[in-house]
Amino acid sequence: MRRRSPLFLCAAALVVATAVPAHAAAGPDPRVTLPGMPERLAPDQKCTSFPGRPLAEAPWTRHALGLDQVWLLSRGRGVTLAVVGTGVSDAPAVLKGRVRAVGGADDDCVGRGTFLAGIAAGAAVPGQGFSGVAPLAEVLAVRGTGDRGEPDPVRMAEGIRQAALAGAGVIVAGAPLDGADARVRSALAAAVEADALVVVPAAADSVPAGGAGVPPEPAPPPGVLAVVDTGPDGGRPGDAPRFTRADLSAPGGALVGPGPVGDGKWTGSGSSLAAAVTGGAAALVRAYHPGLSAAQVRERLLRTAYPGDLPALDAYGAVAGAAAVTVRATGVEPAAVRLRPADDGEAARGTAVAVAAAAAGTALLAGFLAVVVPRGLRRDWRPGRFGGDGPDAA
């Protein structure tokens, strides 16, 4: 049997060193079945009290959005992100101590608002692979539905107004908005006045039972960022709820997030989840480029998106991409990309992986030189036989 050369052993070491992080990024364990987060509760249905199921691995969106790279630049610190929906509970560890509520919005009977807030801005917690898109942003909870999640356009419009007046830099609406509604347009005017970016779902999260003929959602008002959901394959199901206008697409299918009690995880799909993801990305941009207005952040998210029939969110491009001409024209100079210091274990693990890969590459190069150079000198650099070890082989 042929003896394996040092070059082969070094190459094997490199494969082992890089295989571990690749496996770790493969996504959640498919054997774990997560409960589905409800959109609303029936009149006789009790409040959501199931703690979810433990899930230590990262959701697919973390890799798809390149969040580990984005977090080297921004994690949303200093930005307040409002979720207007069923309320937000700070019981889950990923939201503990980071939720400020308007009125009684700190009580989430349904769990949907907590789920959206976790997706947008859940913190990184030791032992959990889950993290929201902007894990250092502050969360503002605002009621925009009935207590049991009943759709209420009046409360949704008023919730957007309250969020703007309370200082939110990014506002995520939990339901589509009708741009023809005078109350919605008035609330949006208040958000523009407060320099808050409003992100809305372009479509409903689900089609009602027996609602095959349900018309598409009305067009959202100008100035908001309307988002539609895509799944892990980058597309939408053929029977997905319809929409009239969307500005952007973002991950919203089979997402993982926290529930209103406990630290287990839930799953859900829909355009409101895609709006939460995009709202988190907007918070990253606002934290990294504090001189940009809400309108400029919206333009930046659209300009840096992946091109297609419907542009797809590129979180890293939005944070690190070059400034647009419209931004420079206002006197805001583009800042050079700057790395922020690591402040949790995720960055440390990323650094460790990079160091291990570099060390393995160095070992591979050294093994190559140790084998090739001496043999080349012995042959006076004459070519050897194909398939053999050269004319000087023992």
Please tell me the CATH superfamily of domain 39-340, with its number: Peptidase S8/S53 domain (3.40.50.200)
Domain boundaries defined on the chain: 1-28+344-394, 39-340
Q: Which amino acid is at 71?
A: W
Residue 358 CB-density burial (10 A; 0-12 exposed, 13-18 middle, 19+ buried): exposed
Q: In sequence order, what are the beta bridge partners of 258?
A: 265
Q: What distance separates the 2 farthest-apart alpha carbons in the chain?
A: 89
Q: What is the pLDDT along the chain (394 residues), one digit of tens a residue?
A: 434 444 333 433 333 333 333 333 334 455 579 999 999 999 999 999 999 999 999 999 999 999 999 999 999 999 999 999 999 999 999 999 999 999 999 999 999 999 999 999 999 999 889 999 999 999 999 999 999 999 999 999 999 999 999 999 999 999 999 999 999 999 999 999 999 999 999 999 998 876 667 899 999 999 999 999 999 999 998 889 999 999 999 999 999 999 999 999 999 999 999 999 999 999 999 999 999 999 999 999 999 999 999 999 999 999 998 754 433 333 333 333 444 444 444 444 444 444 444 455 555 555 555 554 455 555 555 554 434 433 333 3
Sole residue written with tokens 């101590």: 97
In whole angstroms, what is the distance from residue 377 CA to residue 373 CA?
6
In whole angstroms, what is the distance from residue 195 CA to residue 294 CA?
5
Contact 199, 282 (CB under 8 A): yes
Residue 47 CB-density burial (10 A; 0-12 exposed, 13-18 middle, 19+ buried): middle
User: What is the secondary structure of 130-184 as a DSSP string?
Assistant: ---SSTTSEEEEEE-S-TT----HHHHHHHHHHHHHTT-SEEEESS---TT-HHH
pLDDT in tens, 76-104: 999 999 999 999 999 999 999 999 999 99
